Chains A and B, each alone.
Chain A
């Protein structure tokens, strides 16, 4: 077993990438991702990590460089946030379409304008359809474990897709937590070396990224979609392998005190931890309430969502992003879509919470619960609400 120590989550993420023995790190600084890449460049400078640290001139170049290095056969890591992720947008589709298994940590932050360095999920939701695997973590241990897990999944020959590990800016990234690091032996047992089936090899030349005429484009999209959906099985397998090695078990959708709950919160990311405290207090007050957390966002875990939410009376869906001029929040929209085919559908009430770093407290969850309870008692289903917005 590894050692347990107090560590800033961003530092933990960098050290997990070091434990994965990455060959290339290419990144551009942006708050709140900075501590991750600063620490990686230190690890390289101090000789703890044998890698090329490429200090690029933009995030567009960071992602392009990652495409080049992973195509050359190098294990590749990057990290970004917000505007940086948006600047990568074009290349994100290409990285996934070309099946290049890059691992990227995204310290989630709101998007401009107005410019805001604080946390929400607006950045990653704008990249929802880029064809990347996407998971959300809640705390430092989770984040550390999932960097290693992400390499295991992305580089699997049955997957070969890039992956984003989303962790909330500041409220997760900058927090010092008790962290159990993996031993080199545990890493060795869990994560095989990167062994690409295709790479830029002068002895065996391949053409990467050719033109897709109408006769073939459609088939490549189908193959991409199937690869993404099919990746879930490998993800689940890798989670159970991770449990075998370090004893922590993760699932695509996880529950907290939800077994007998008529009303459940549904959340994603670091906010879930505050929600758990609210659930504890509501349970003490005799309320049958629980929490369902989405860990896996792409591929969307339809079956697991149906299994976890079907049969409930009311779901209180909490989004950290707003689809402006649209249906409210992306998580609630997709959950509703997943539940639509059920014979008896739960009611879903939607809250868009904590935009641009606005605090979401235990008290806020209790208020959301009261609104959910009113619906459960037969009251009307309100439209989505931006939690705590001033009139």
Chain B
């Protein structure tokens, strides 16, 4: 089916079945929990999830309850990519040796920004480099939320967190968001994409593409966290849109090294409209907002240049 068709009819065509059940323990307005739901609508029941420690693990699996309608395994914080490597290798060997029937099963590893960009980066790099047929999904809520909103290397410049607090001598996070997608591209894998919970059909289509390739694929999906961002819970989806429209989180995909911007934003909105409803940015001065906006626009321009170069 062509991608245009999916976009037009997607809402009606989505499976009714909820493989990520309601009744889990996520906060109101939690966008990462929506990511889980969309993820399984896109991938379907023949999927095995390897989950890192973090909000999505903790809210979904309090024994004896489980929100998961597919096989699911949580081992530790930093190693879901490694666990998925093992699941994939195990299934491959068992199928080749005729011990279980041949069948296409999707193996997906997932973690938050902390479990991906910081403590889990080595395991991801190893898994991508070894070429396992798996999807790695990072849901990015821009801090360690499970442990109380500490900074990660995915926290944006200027954001106040519990370990990058704004104060008399601090304007909050002083470093720039690490780019997981670029790191993945450097592994020369067939498919890399950024996505957003606020563009659900684009996200699901990207997951399907990630699933269709043989070999590793990585999807980095933006997912606002009202609790950690100190914003009203009903704004989560709007903030995801504004992040794209202000170039705070551009959406693109890299297929066999070729860049394509999947949500073009010819006229970027001023960054202020994205920042103003979020408590984590409340302390920022005009100068700092300008510095952040300029940095984001430079990065976006570089991305546009890469996409144009890919068309040549």
Establish whether residues A210 and B76, one from each chain, have CB atoms under 8 Å apart when the complex forms: no
Establish whether residues A210 and B90, one from each chain, have CB atoms under 8 Å apart when the complex forms: no
Establish whether residues A76 and B90, one from each chain, have CB atoms under 8 Å apart when the complex forms: yes
Contacts of A51 in B (CB 8 A): 93
Q: Which of A26, A58, A98, A193 contacts B89 (CB 8 A)?
A: A26
Q: Is B148 close to A, CB under 8 A?
A: no
Q: In the complex, what residue of chain B is closest to A58 when comparing beta carbons?
A: B122
Establish whether residues B99 and A23, one from each chain, have CB atoms under 8 Å apart when the complex forms: yes
Contacts of A58 in B (CB 8 A): 122-123, 126
Kindly list the 3 A-B residue pairs having the minimum CB-CB distance in the complex, ordered from nearest: A68-B86, A72-B90, A74-B90
Q: Mark B226-251, 1 if CB is under 8 A from A, else 0.
A: 00000000000000000000000000
Q: Is B84 close to A, CB under 8 A?
A: yes
Q: Is B47 close to A, CB under 8 A?
A: yes
On A, residues with C-beta under 8 Å from B are 23-24, 26, 50-52, 54-58, 60-61, 64-74, 76, 90-91, 94, 98, 193, 200-202, 205-213, 216
Query: Could you list 26 A-B pairs, sorted by A, with CB under 8 Å?
Result: A23-B90, A23-B97, A50-B96, A52-B92, A56-B126, A58-B126, A64-B86, A65-B89, A67-B75, A68-B83, A68-B89, A70-B90, A72-B87, A72-B91, A73-B99, A74-B89, A193-B99, A205-B70, A207-B61, A207-B68, A207-B71, A208-B71, A208-B74, A210-B74, A211-B63, A216-B63
Contacts of B78 in A (CB 8 A): 60
Establish whether residues B90 and A69, one from each chain, have CB atoms under 8 Å apart when the complex forms: yes
Contacts of B130 in A (CB 8 A): 54-56
Contacts of B92 in A (CB 8 A): 52
Q: In the complex, what residue of chain A is closest to B63 when comparing beta carbons?
A: A210
Q: Which of B63, B74, B86, B91 contacts A66 (CB 8 A)?
A: B86
Alpha-carbon separation in the docked complex, A207 to B67 (Å): 9
Establish whether residues A50 and B93, one from each chain, have CB atoms under 8 Å apart when the complex forms: yes
Q: In the complex, what residue of chain B is closest to A66 when comparing beta carbons?
A: B86
Q: Which of A57, A74, A202 contacts B71 (CB 8 A)?
A: A202
Establish whether residues A64 and B75, one from each chain, have CB atoms under 8 Å apart when the complex forms: yes
Alpha-carbon separation in the docked complex, A57 to B127 (Å): 9
Establish whether residues A90 and B76, one from each chain, have CB atoms under 8 Å apart when the complex forms: yes
Establish whether residues B72 and A202, one from each chain, have CB atoms under 8 Å apart when the complex forms: no
Interface centre among A23, A52, A60, A65 (most CB of B within 10 A): A65
- For window 82-122 of chain B, which residues contact chain A by CB distance below 8 Å? 82-94, 96-97, 99-100, 105, 122
Alpha-carbon separation in the docked complex, A90 to B129 (Å): 24
Contacts of B75 in A (CB 8 A): 64, 67-68, 91, 94, 98, 209
Alpha-carbon separation in the docked complex, A212 to B65 (Å): 11
Chain A: minimal CB distance from B161 (Å): 24
Q: Which of A23, A57, A70, A76 contacts B125 (CB 8 A)?
A: A57
Instruction: Known contacts A64-B86, A76-B90; decide if A57 and B73 are in contact (CB<8 Å).
Output: no
Chain A: minimal CB distance from B240 (Å): 27
- For window 160-174 of chain B, which residues contact chain A by CB distance below 8 Å? none
Q: Is B58 close to A, CB under 8 A?
A: yes
Q: Which of A26, A98, A193, A210 contacts B66 (CB 8 A)?
A: A210
Q: In the complex, what residue of chain B is closest to A206 when comparing beta carbons?
A: B71
Alpha-carbon separation in the docked complex, A363 to B84 (Å): 52
Alpha-carbon separation in the docked complex, A282 to B306 (Å): 80
